[in-house]
Structure 1
Amino acid sequence: MKGKTMLFIDQIDIKGKKLLFRVDFNVPQDAGTITDDNRIRAAIPTLKYALDQGAAIILCAHLGKPGGKVVPELSLASVAERTGELLGINVLLSPDTIGDISQKMAAALKPGQALMLENLRFNPEEIGEKAEDRGDFGKVLASMADVYVNDAFGVAHRENASVVDIPRYAKECCAGFLIKRELEYLGDALREPRRPYVCVSGGAKVSTKLGILNNLLGNVDDIIIGGAMANTFLLAQGYAVGKSLVEANLVEDAQALMLKAEKLGTRLHLPIDFKFAYSHEAVESDGICSIESVPEDALVLDIGPQTIINFVALLAQSKTIVWNGPMGLFETPAFAEGSLAICQAIAEVKDAVSIVGGGDTDAVVHLLDLAEKFSFISTGGGSFLQFLEGKELPAFKTLKECVTQ
């Protein structure tokens, strides 16, 4: 029969069963040493719950972009070892994904034991764009276990075999606690936000954020726009932005969005001054300018001091804050002040729900070691953006439609 709603792992009987987990353990490494294990830690509560219930667990994940080929440097060996340390058990690593060895290792797995399959993306079928390109890869993976559990919000927007095909063949399927938490925070922020509700949107391109901004208009009270994407809106208002990154082909879209915001009662807030330089490679600022006086040969690389004051004052009055995207070229210390100030300001807002999403934004939070000051840090980048855009993620769609027996 068809499931009408997504089930979660604590809603089904898993005692004594084998569970195949899709996890997002795509963690940064330096010469085989994991430098940030937050993605692994995020899935540990779900995995521990399964083990405590007497289940055996099989983990499948990807690492990097090997392009469907075996790349030894992208093996999940260090990931399996770290997962075992966090779980307090030995996590076996299969040398393949759906070959004879992994099949035998999965079949021999006993309750309370754990197995990790080798990098999913060593197999071209995992990332096939069409169902025929993916073949039976998902079907074979599904045959290894009694239950499929997706706890990988970071890839929920991708139509990979491990995301959309396995649940179509699984006997039972559900989502884990990580995804449950993502849905609780992101869903509540969209449906019943505490007000004032402010969205902070930054980053390089308007093109990646237009859908989100349009979807939020009329629901969110204020939208703060920073980063290079603000340049397109300023150009749409008639301001010159020198040689700064801008999407001139989207000026009309920006104008339409500003008109729509005015009609729906959402206030847009743009920078009024900047730190600028004459090269992207600059390590020091060449000065501060207002929006009326950007030098012709300059690039604006961070919001300026008055803009920071304005944005911080607005955030201080907020009760719900959703933040995606830095305010400037934060990787260069000289142009990180705006992003760091916004991060600090959100962290200091009392009695507010604060949600962060996106790799760069997450990096800013951890740069200041303020993760614990935020209500929720999403584990998804593209999934976070598509969710805010109002799209149904492929992973969620198939989890709702999966066959249950």
Structure 2
Amino acid sequence: MKKTIRDIDLNNKKVIIRVDFNVPIKNGIIQSNERIVAALDTIKYAIDNNAKVILLSHLSRIKTEEDKASKSLKPVALELEKLLNHKVIFVPFTSGEGLKKAVDAMQNKDVVLVENTRFEDLNEKAESKNASWLADQWAALGDVFINDAFATAHRSHASNVGISSRIAETGVGFLVEKELKAFDDAFSKDTKPFLAIVGGAKVKDKISYLTKLSTKADEILIGGAMAYTFLKAKGIEIGKSLVEDEYIEFAKELMEKSTAQFIIPQDHAMVNNFEDTTWTYSNSFDIDKDKMGIDVGPKTIKLYEKHIANAKLIYWNGPLGVFEKEFGEAGTKAIGLALASSQAYTIIGGGDTISASEKFNFKDKINHVSTGGGASQEYLLEHHLPAIDAIQDK
């Protein structure tokens, strides 16, 4: 068991909390504040326990100086202040004397939000590569380090693993504690058959996950645009559907060598193009040569529902179709509702899957809605995460 924020005396201490404020921002306006809301309990606990609270978070990827203008955490500081009903001091520095001065001036119960940690990636990727000099600077700011950013826990960055190894006391926050407990609870029960549902757009984004999953899961249901690469790997006609030709051989080998059973769509919803308002269904694996697949068909839905009904543990990441449009929503909706009524322990992860769970009103009926995409997958399959392993045990 890892130490939690409850196990540490925070009184009169500088407490660095790694949060996940990687929220969507458009024209300076936050589109969804869910990740900020998810961190509130941990931040409030630190304030209530008389700590000086130093918040670190990344926001998106930073590749150029121009990226900084649209990827500042300043709008997040304003939103956090509103949600906490407590003053938040925004520090427009990520290292150096300016940051140190701001922290040195803190009083008990002050909350400081440091600028986007990934601004330091413009400096030879210092954050993402866990540069020693940067981890040293950040660790020197505090007495205690709390990791409450589950979504980045599969990464070894300066702002998580780097600080953890350089500070006297470490623990996890309430959000990470909840995530770990949910996955540990899942594996304390009968997990066979373990069913994984893998959707989304690209095989490319899930190569590592699919490779590991193929030796851990019992059954893998494939959906989304990535399904057409798997179908083509089996020699099935996919018409004008999206396909990743460079990953056909990977998909073919994976299905041949896997100890898990791969189950691919047997029929499809088809359109001429994405502007269509009407759609038809194929009656077989094949998609008409002049059409493109945009969702699984009714036969596939029934087949997938049967597998869901027999499973004991289900993890779902990635929608089965273009669920934002009427012609592509049936598969994702039906599978979500099947999970909601399943007797299995159900976990979903990934932004699109969570959005679908909200759109089709099944979110509250899932055992655990994970805030981590890659981190959820890593912990599910390996039961280890670098940024969690770096936290002290109780």
Q: CA deviation at 1:326?
A: 0.8
For the structure 1 residues 277 and 182, does the alpha-carbon distance in structure 2 shift closer, same or farther, using more than 3 Å as the test?
Answer: same
Structure 2 residue 290 is matched with structure 1 residue 297: yes
Task: Say if 2:91 and 2:115, in contact at 8 Å, map to a contact too.
Answer: yes
Three-state SS of the structure 2 residue aligned to 1:399 is coil
Structure 2 residue 52 is matched with structure 1 residue 56: yes
**What does residue 352 of structure 2 align with?**
360
Task: State the distance in 2 between where 1:393 and 1:321 align.
Answer: 20
CA RMSD of aligned residues (A): 2.9
For 1:18-97, list aligned pairs within 5 A. 18-67=14-63, 69=65, 71-97=68-94
Structure 2 residue 380 is matched with structure 1 residue 382: no
Q: CA deviation at 1:21?
A: 0.9
Task: State the distance in 1 between where 2:283 and 2:114 align.
Answer: 55
**What does residue 277 of structure 1 align with?**
271
Structure 2 residue 226 is matched with structure 1 residue 229: yes
Gaps of 5+ in 1: none
Which amino acid is 1:89 matched to? H
**What does residue 168 of structure 2 align with?**
171
- The one of 190, 197, 218 aligned to 1:200: 197
When normalised by structure 2's length, the TM-score is 0.88
- The one of 334, 358, 361 aligned to 1:341: 334
**What does residue 395 of structure 1 align with?**
387
For the structure 1 residues 318 and 389, does the alpha-carbon distance in structure 2 shift closer, same or farther, using more than 3 Å as the test?
Answer: closer
For the structure 1 residues 293 and 169, does the alpha-carbon distance in structure 2 shift closer, same or farther, using more than 3 Å as the test?
Answer: closer
Name which of structure 1's ranges 55-64 and 91-100 shifts more when overlaid on structure 2: 91-100
Task: State the distance in 1 between where 2:2 and 2:206 align.
Answer: 27
Task: State the distance in 2 between where 1:97 and 1:27 align.
Answer: 19
**What does residue 128 of structure 1 align with?**
126
Q: CA deviation at 1:343?
A: 1.8
Percent sequence identity is 36
When normalised by structure 1's length, the TM-score is 0.85
- The one of 154, 157, 162 aligned to 2:154: 157
**What does residue 115 of structure 1 align with?**
112
Task: State the distance in 1 between where 2:347 and 2:379 align.
Answer: 13
Task: Say if 1:69 and 1:121, in contact at 8 Å, map to a contact too.
Answer: no
Task: State the distance in 1 between where 2:194 and 2:129 align.
Answer: 40
Task: Say if 2:118 and 2:128, in contact at 8 Å, map to a contact too.
Answer: no
Three-state SS of the structure 1 residue aligned to 2:196 is strand
- The one of 287, 312, 315 aligned to 1:322: 315
Task: State the distance in 2 between where 1:157 and 1:66 align.
Answer: 19
Task: Say if 1:66 and 1:122, in contact at 8 Å, map to a contact too.
Answer: yes
For the structure 1 residues 250 and 101, does the alpha-carbon distance in structure 2 shift closer, same or farther, using more than 3 Å as the test?
Answer: closer
For 1:192-271, list aligned pairs within 5 A. 192-217=189-214, 220-261=217-258, 264=259, 266-271=260-265
Task: Say if 2:265 and 2:285, in contact at 8 Å, map to a contact too.
Answer: no
CA deviation profile, 1:244-291 (whole Å, cap 9, x unmatched)? 233445445444443455xx5x44322111012233x33434421133
Task: State the distance in 2 between where 1:110 and 1:245 align.
Answer: 56
Q: CA deviation at 1:136?
A: 1.8
Task: Say if 1:285 and 1:335, in contact at 8 Å, map to a contact too.
Answer: no
Q: What is the number of equivalent residue pairs in this alignment?
A: 392
**What does residue 181 of structure 1 align with?**
178
Task: State the distance in 2 between where 1:283 and 1:61 align.
Answer: 41
Task: State the distance in 2 between where 1:130 and 1:377 align.
Answer: 26
Which amino acid is 2:264 matched to? L
CA deviation profile, 1:124-152 (whole Å, cap 9, x unmatched)? 248438858x3522211111110111111
Task: State the distance in 2 between where 1:105 and 1:370 align.
Answer: 44
Three-state SS of the structure 2 residue aligned to 1:200 is strand
Task: State the distance in 1 between where 2:383 and 2:289 align.
Answer: 40
